[in-house]
């Protein structure tokens, strides 16, 4: 079947009243980015739907990209025909022949008419096409509720549009409509999932990744970048901010008693992230914490760490079970990467017995006792590197193409 | 030169050797090393594994690299015996397997395992019914080859798989060394097959490399223990250049496979149609679809196989007595003996084995040489 356009239906957008213009504009931008490289198609964002006229571009490939754009509730591949019943009958036969098969099946016709001057009204159209299908496909019968096949017909000013599928989109809100947040990306399973879920609610994320060479390897850094590339298709590209953390970690290790190493380290991370957030004009911080998984994630621990900022910290996976998070990670294809065994800066210097119930006052006390905290933070900030990561970028196994050539 | 001994070994492809050399030069590290040099070598190793898995439509963690077919056969047989010794000590195999299987079985028998060697019919085929009848409650392994290396009979793997569906705990191994690239991959990878053995040098990869397929969830004890390579299943520093070469060779082999099989079939038919008319010739391979496209085994009564091989050598044509592995010691062919071919004829058997590069012109030259050689033997042999 040669589709002529893809019709996109907005998700929660429709309910957003006066913000609607902004939402549609943003979605239009995101779809345009996602469909970069298709030269022929034209995108027409309308009040209630978006029409992507293919002009010969590959409909399947286009739908594959649309599938990763948040803010799309569902979409339908569509064929446009001239405004006469012969053309409609002809195309109806073609579409149904593609999907009817030989088994007994049920169907219905669902007509929508925005051009009220067309010779047939909605009911007449339903009847006419229903009869046509019954006459030509003896294995089909009519059923109004939950039919196997629904043929949608839209009579518009410029033509008649036929479609038989409604494909579920990614849902959520267009990325960017909720403002920008900084994702604390470690390299584990949880933080990429948190990033995905934040994007799904319209948040534009930038990655903040701490690395501590030589305690952490280039591989650990590249793994974080590769994870970022995995999340990039939803937005086109993602800003990746790498923050040197070696000096702070060494200093904390030297100055702070073992039980509070982790807590104080994380307070530094959060402070740094918050400062970067201000520089980058972000509104919130996102991380992959879930309640009660490890020492750093008890409520006491959250209190002791969260203490350094009043910026909203969004924890999308906070109440999920590990198995749920893993399922999400597999769905978005970050799991296999996340479990690659490179030490990240959360695992080095991890004390054998961190305090699972750290006290806020003790955490503050140990941090205050350290020399030159401001200098440590400033030197770290001076060393950050910012890059843009696209979905096509590769960081692990960069010789992939060279090797492929050899094989 | 006309090389018709491809079941013994094939000539490594230039493109494969090119890969071998480049990987040796540019990715020489030990894949287990932590640093970047090791990392690069590991990337080659894993990407090669992935490519082989993709080509065979299996998962990359189901591919284990070995030193070749003999190791693969030894590993699956003995690895199963060790792994499943708690569950039983009975093994079923055919009497026409490669010595790598048969001699492994002999070793196990000495250790107290019982082995049933299934007979073959006069055409060289095991029967699935015999497999079924031989199964006991303590049977742990059935090992049957996909393609017999001496006469090319393709064993009824699918039918045996059907029998074994009712015995899910028995390991089913297919020695596929002669079967890969011969259009029967769907049989070799029948869902009931648990293990399959492959050898690189039979398809233009370098010597000393091979792999086994081991279905996920099926366990073998390792034979090579050591540094834990190959997921702790086969220790020893990986032969990365040869592995990369083999991945490439397999890709080349499976490209246009149907066409290559058809070509081999046509050449084999041309030779078959010519030589089978001579009164003193006995054909052991048939043109029926249950024979592999690349192997043709026949005998000229009254002349030793060895003599025939040397006679063809004078014409720059290279073939072999039945199987290269046993040809030096002059013993009769194991497969033909199992088919109850009389000794006098079995010792006269020779094997022509083709690859995708052989041509019709070569078949014609072979046939011309055959006429002259046959005539000469007639003089001494009447």
Q: How confident is the model at residue A114 (pLDDT cuts 50, 70, 90)?
A: confident
Instruction: Report the alpha-carbon distance of residue B84 to residue B194 in Å, rounded.
Output: 14
Q: How confident is the model at residue B60 (pLDDT cuts 50, 70, 90)?
A: very high
Q: Distances in Å between the alpha carbon of A142 and those of A119, A137, A152, A163? A: 24, 11, 14, 17
For A191-211, what is the mean pLDDT? 95
Please, which residues have CB within 8 angstroms of residue A82's CB and are 6 or more apart in sequence? A159, A160
pLDDT of residue A356: 82
A&B contacts, CB < 8 Å: 32
Query: Sign (positive/negative) of CA torsion A359, A364, A367, A368?
Result: negative
First to last CA, chain A: 37
For A261-273, what is the mean pLDDT? 94
pLDDT of residue B367: 97
Q: How confident is the model at residue B194 (pLDDT cuts 50, 70, 90)?
A: very high
| CB-based contact B244 A403, cutoff 8 Å | yes
Q: Distances in Å between the alpha carbon of A23 and those of A27, A175, A180, A181, A202? A: 6, 9, 15, 18, 10
| Binding-site residues on chain B for chain A (CB distance < 8 A) | 19, 22-23, 27, 34, 36, 39-40, 43-44, 46-48, 51, 244, 247-248, 251
> Is pLDDT at B151 greater than 90 in this prediction?
yes
pLDDT digits (tens, 9 = 90+) for A223-255: 999 999 999 988 878 999 999 999 999 999 999
The tokens of B71 are what? 């190791």
CA atoms within 13 A on the CB side of A44: 10
For A92-114, what is the mean pLDDT? 90
The tokens of B367 are what? 């046939």
Least confident of A9-13, A105-109, B44-48, B251-255: A9-13
Please tell me whether residue B374 adopts helix, strand or coil conformation: helix
Cβ-based contacts of A218 with chain B (< 8 Å)? 36
Q: Is A210 annotated as a binding residue?
A: yes
Tell me what percent of the residues of chain B surpass a pLDDT of 90.
Answer: 92
Task: Tell me the ipTM for this assembly.
Answer: 0.78
| CB-based contact B47 A219, cutoff 8 Å | no
Q: Name the minimum distance, in Å, from the CA of A211 to any CA of chain B.
A: 18
DSSP code at position B57: T
Q: Delineate the domains of chain A, giving CATH numbers in brackets.
A: 5-168 (3.30.2130.30), 180-405 (3.40.50.620)
Please tell me whether residue B345 adopts helix, strand or coil conformation: helix
Query: Sign (positive/negative) of CA torsion A320, A323, A329, A331?
Result: negative
Q: Assess A333–B contact: CB distance below 8 Å, yes or no.
A: no
Q: Is A118 annotated as a binding residue?
A: no
Burial state string for A220-253 with b = 16 or more CB within 10 A and e = fewer than 16: bbbbbbbbbbbbbbbbbbbbbbbbbbbebbebbb
Please tell me whether residue A61 adopts helix, strand or coil conformation: helix
pLDDT of residue A98: 85
The tokens of B296 are what? 């043709």
Burial state string for A92-115 with b = 16 or more CB within 10 A and e = fewer than 16: beebbeeebeeeebebbbbbebee
Q: How confident is the model at residue B382 (pLDDT cuts 50, 70, 90)?
A: low
Cβ-based contacts of B247 with chain A (< 8 Å)? 407
Least confident of A186-195, A284-293, B144-153: A284-293
The catalytically annotated residue of B281, B325, B345, B369 is B325
By the 8 A CB rule, do A317 and A213 touch? no
By the 8 A CB rule, do A387 and A240 touch? yes
Instruction: Report the alpha-carbon distance of residue A226 to residue A247 in Å, rounded.
Output: 25
Q: Is A70 annotated as a binding residue?
A: no
Least confident of A390-399, B36-45, B54-63, B209-218: A390-399
Nearest to B131 by CA among B87, B93, B78: B93
Instruction: Report the alpha-carbon distance of residue B11 to residue A298 in Å, rounded.
Output: 64
Q: Is A227 annotated as a binding residue?
A: no
> Is pLDDT at A287 greater than 80 in this prediction?
yes
Q: How confident is the model at residue A293 (pLDDT cuts 50, 70, 90)?
A: low
For A250-278, what is the mean pLDDT? 94
Q: Residues 195-224, chain A: which have Cβ within 8 Å of B?
A: 217-219
Cβ-based contacts of A399 with chain B (< 8 Å)? 40, 43-44
| CB-based contact B44 A403, cutoff 8 Å | yes
pLDDT digits (tens, 9 = 90+) for A171-195: 888 888 889 999 999 889 999 999 9
Q: Is A184 annotated as a binding residue?
A: yes
Q: Delineate the domains of chain B, giving CATH numbers in brackets.
A: 2-9+257-381 (3.90.1150.10), 14-254 (3.40.640.10)
pLDDT of residue A125: 92
For A368-372, what is the mean pLDDT? 92
> Among all residues of chain A, which has the CA nearest to that of B51?
A407
In B51-112, at which residue ranges do the beta strands (DSSP E only) sit? 63-66, 90-94
By the 8 A CB rule, do B373 and B380 touch? no
Please tell me whether residue A289 adopts helix, strand or coil conformation: coil
pLDDT digits (tens, 9 = 90+) for B313-341: 999 999 999 754 454 554 556 899 999 99
Q: Is A66 annotated as a binding residue?
A: no
Instruction: Report the alpha-carbon distance of residue A221 to residue A217 in Å, rounded.
Output: 7
pLDDT digits (tens, 9 = 90+) for A212-225: 988 888 888 999 99
pLDDT of residue A353: 76
- Peptide bond preceding B27 in cis form (omega within 30 of 0): no
Q: Residues 358-397, chain A: which have Cβ within 8 Å of B?
A: 397
pLDDT digits (tens, 9 = 90+) for B239-290: 999 999 999 999 999 999 999 999 999 999 999 999 999 999 999 999 999 9
- List phi, psi (to 5°) of B55: -60, -30
For A10-37, what is the mean pLDDT? 79
Q: Distances in Å between the alpha carbon of A285 and those of A189, A307, A384, B359? A: 18, 14, 18, 69
B325 is catalytic: yes
Give the bridge partners for B295, in sequence order: B353
Q: Assess A403–B contact: CB distance below 8 Å, yes or no.
A: yes
Q: Name the minimum distance, in Å, from the CA of A309 to any CA of chain B.
A: 39
Q: Distances in Å between the alpha carbon of B18 and those of B202, B206, B288? A: 18, 11, 38
Cβ-based contacts of A340 with chain B (< 8 Å)? none
Instruction: Report the alpha-carbon distance of residue A259 to residue B267 in Å, rounded.
Output: 78
Q: How confident is the model at residue A394 (pLDDT cuts 50, 70, 90)?
A: confident
Q: Assess A400–B contact: CB distance below 8 Å, yes or no.
A: yes
pLDDT of residue B332: 55
Q: Name the minimum distance, in Å, from the CA of B362 to any CA of chain A.
A: 30
For A89-118, what is the mean pLDDT? 90
pLDDT of residue B329: 54
pLDDT of residue A219: 86
pLDDT of residue A187: 87
């Amino acid at each position: 079947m040669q589709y002529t356009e893809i019709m996109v239906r907005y998700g929660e957008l429709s309910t957003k009243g006066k913000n609607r213009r902004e939402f549609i504009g943003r979605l239009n931008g995101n779809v345009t980015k996602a469909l970069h490289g298709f030269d022929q198609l034209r995108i027409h964002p309308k009040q209630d739907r978006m029409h992507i006229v293919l002009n010969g571009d590959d409909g399947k490939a286009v739908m594959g990209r649309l599938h990763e754009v948040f803010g799309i509730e569902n979409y339908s591949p569509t064929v446009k025909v001239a405004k006469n019943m012969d053309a409609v009958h002809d195309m109806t036969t073609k579409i149904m022949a593609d999907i009817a098969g030989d088994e007994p099946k049920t169907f219905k016709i669902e007509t929508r008419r925005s051009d009220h001057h067309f010779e047939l009204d909605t009911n007449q159209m339903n009847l006419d096409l229903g009869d046509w299908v019954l006459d030509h496909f003896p294995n089909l019968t009519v059923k109004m509720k939950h039919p196997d096949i629904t043929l949608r017909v839209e009579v518009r000013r410029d033509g008649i549009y036929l479609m038989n599928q409604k494909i579920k989109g990614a849902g959520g809100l267009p990325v960017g409509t909720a403002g920008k947040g900084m994702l604390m990306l470690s390299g584990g399973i949880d933080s990429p999932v948190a990033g995905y879920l934040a994007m799904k609610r319209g948040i534009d994320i930038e990655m903040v990744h701490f690395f501590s060479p030589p305690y952490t390897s280039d591989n650990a850094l590249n793994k974080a970048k590769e994870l970022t590339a995995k999340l990039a298709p939803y937005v086109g590209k993602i800003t990746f901010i790498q923050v040197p953390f070696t000096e702070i970690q060494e200093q904390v290790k030297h100055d702070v008693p073992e039980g509070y190493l982790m807590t104080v380290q994380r307070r530094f991370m959060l402070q740094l992230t918050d400062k970067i957030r201000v520089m980058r004009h972000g509104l919130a911080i996102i991380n992959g914490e879930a309640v009660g998984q490890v020492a750093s994630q008890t409520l006491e621990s959250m209190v002791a760490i969260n203490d350094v900022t009043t910026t909203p910290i969004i924890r999308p996976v906070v109440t999920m079970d590990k198995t749920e998070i893993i399922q999400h990670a597999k769905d978005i294809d970050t799991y296999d990467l996340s479990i690659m065994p490179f030490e990240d800066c959360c695992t080095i210097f991890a004390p054998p017995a961190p305090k699972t119930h750290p006290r806020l006052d003790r955490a503050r006390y140990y941090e205050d006792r350290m020399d030159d905290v401001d200098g440590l933070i400033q030197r770290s900030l001076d060393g950050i590197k910012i890059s843009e990561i696209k979905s096509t970028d590769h960081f692990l196994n960069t010789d992939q193409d060279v090797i492929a050539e050899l094989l | 030169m006309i090389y018709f001994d491809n079941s013994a070994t094939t000539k490594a492809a230039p493109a494969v050797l090119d890969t071998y050399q480049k990987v040796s030069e540019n990715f020489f590290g030990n894949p287990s090393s932590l640093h970047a040099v090791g990392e690069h070598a590991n990337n080659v190793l894993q990407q090669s594994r992935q490519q082989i898995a993709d080509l065979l439509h299996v998962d990359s963690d189901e591919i284990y690299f070995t030193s070749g077919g003999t190791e693969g056969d030894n590993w699956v047989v003995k690895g199963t015996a060790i792994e499943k010794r708690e569950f039983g000590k009975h093994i079923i195999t055919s009497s026409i397997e490669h010595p790598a299987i048969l001699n492994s079985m002999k070793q196990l028998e000495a250790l107290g395992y019982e082995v049933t060697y299934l007979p073959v019919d006069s055409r060289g085929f095991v029967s699935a019914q015999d497999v079924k009848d031989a199964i006991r409650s303590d049977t742990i392994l059935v090992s049957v080859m996909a393609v017999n290396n001496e006469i090319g009979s393709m064993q009824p793997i699918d039918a045996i798989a059907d029998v074994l569906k009712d015995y899910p705990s028995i390991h089913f191994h297919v020695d596929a060394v002669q079967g890969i690239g011969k259009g029967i991959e769907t049989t070799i990878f029948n869902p009931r097959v648990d293990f399959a053995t492959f050898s690189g040098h039979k398809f233009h990869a370098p010597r000393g490399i091979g792999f086994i397929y081991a279905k996920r969830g099926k366990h073998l004890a390792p034979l090579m223990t050591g540094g834990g390579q190959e997921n702790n299943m086969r220790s020893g520093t990986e032969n990365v250049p040869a592995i990369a070469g083999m991945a490439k060779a397999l890709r080349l082999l499976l490209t246009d496979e149907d066409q290559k099989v058809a070509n081999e079939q046509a050449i084999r038919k041309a030779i078959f149609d010519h030589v089978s008319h001579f009164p003193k010739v006995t054909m052991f391979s048939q043109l029926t679809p249950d024979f592999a496209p690349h192997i043709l085994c026949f005998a000229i009564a009254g002349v030793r196989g060895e003599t025939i091989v040397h006679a063809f050598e004078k014409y720059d044509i290279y073939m072999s007595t039945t199987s290269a592995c046993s040809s030096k010691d002059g013993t009769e062919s194991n497969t033909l003996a199992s088919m109850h071919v009389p000794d006098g004829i079995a010792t006269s058997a020779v094997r022509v084995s083709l690859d995708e590069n052989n041509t019709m012109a070569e078949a014609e030259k072979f046939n011309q040489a055959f006429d002259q050689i046959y005539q000469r033997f007639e003089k001494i042999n009447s």
